[in-house]
Amino acid sequence: MENKQTVLVTGGSGFIATYCIMALLREGYKVKATLRSLKKAELVKQMLKQGGLHSVDDLSFVEADLQNEPSWEKATKGCQYVIHVASPTPHTEAKTEDDFVVPARNGVLFVLRAAKKEGVKRVVLTSAFGAVGFGTVKTTPYTEEDWTVLNDTVFPYQKSKTISEKAAWDFIKNEGAGMELAVVNPTGVLGPVLSDDFSHSIQNIKQMLNGDMKACPKLISGYVDVRDVADLHVKAMTMPQASGQRFIAVAGEGFSLLDTANVLRKNLGEKAAKVPTRELPNWLIKLLALFIPKLKAVEPYLGMIKRASSEKAITQLGWKPRSTEDAILATATSLIKLSIVN
């Protein structure tokens, strides 16, 4: 298509963002990707190549930072759409809740304000299941009608996702006249890794394959393949019926860590030799957490069952996610191929 439309993808070196860039370039859009430092541009191109993309002619980079509002006006210039994936990842020095919440909320507002000024048609925000299913207990699957209830059981990361997504909807309602918003809420993101920088859910599979996880804590959550997350972002950006809506991205309803381990063992033969074969009782993990700091982080999630439904994305947008099994195997084979696990 001549006169290609330009899409700004924020946080261009991230796992989901890289796949969004790939999907958009394949669909014939021009993409401008933001990076905190342009030094990362080569790495992004390498990852796109690793993902099977041959031409990056329609890709450009711009420096922008979620803590720096003026940088977004330059970034959004000439863009018809924005896919806002970037989220400040608080490093270990994040001491207080505000270290998570404030940059996340401000970042969303900086991007939306700049997009509004530039006359951007629609913004797609990458939120998270963290804004849907925490602070409450449900036996039925969570849907887009659900919101995380901000109480003491909710971690700073999930709080930041909830508060920043709510801030986005408020902005559109109060100041966004004429600009559209759609939101994607992924569960645990799996899929082929393109470098050694990847999501938390993939960490679990890596630990299983290299023998660091000796037995599985009892945790059930939803998973989704990153390629399907990117596809849902493109649908949310282009389809008229997606405007003003949020969409949960999940394949199936939920999978335990032991289910995941079983899939690896069933399909990978020798390569899954170190994968755990049993589940640890909750009381034992609580006891071990007193001595093993790493387990302390798992403790609050024990016995947590978080099932979610992507019925809405499937029926309204015609989204067709791969199965959780496929996502798990794609993750594992890519970790082996890139020698991230031995």
Residue 279's φ and ψ, nearest 5 degrees, are -100, 145
Scored b (16 or more CB within 10 A) or e, 12-33 reads bbbbbbbbbbbbbbeeebbbbb
Q: Name the helix (H) or strand (E) containing 104.
A: helix 97-118
Question: Can you spell out the DSSP letters for 203-257?
Answer: HHHHHHHTT--SSB---EEEEEEHHHHHHHHHHHHH-GGGTT-EEEE-EEEEEEH
d(CA 70, CA 92): 27
- Distance, first Cα to last Cα, the chain: 44
Query: Is the CB of residue 302 less than 8 Å from the CB of residue 219?
Result: yes
Query: Reduced to 3 states, what is the DSSP secondary structure of residue 1?
Result: coil
Residue with tokens 């509004």: 116
- Token representation of residue 219: 């945790």
CA distance 122 to 176: 10
Q: What six digits make up the tokens of 329?
A: 């195997």
Residue 161 bears catalytic tag: yes
In the set 116, 159, 161, 206, the catalytic residue is: 161
209, with CB counted inside 10 A (0-12, 13-18, 19+), is: buried
Give catalytic residue positions. Answer: 161
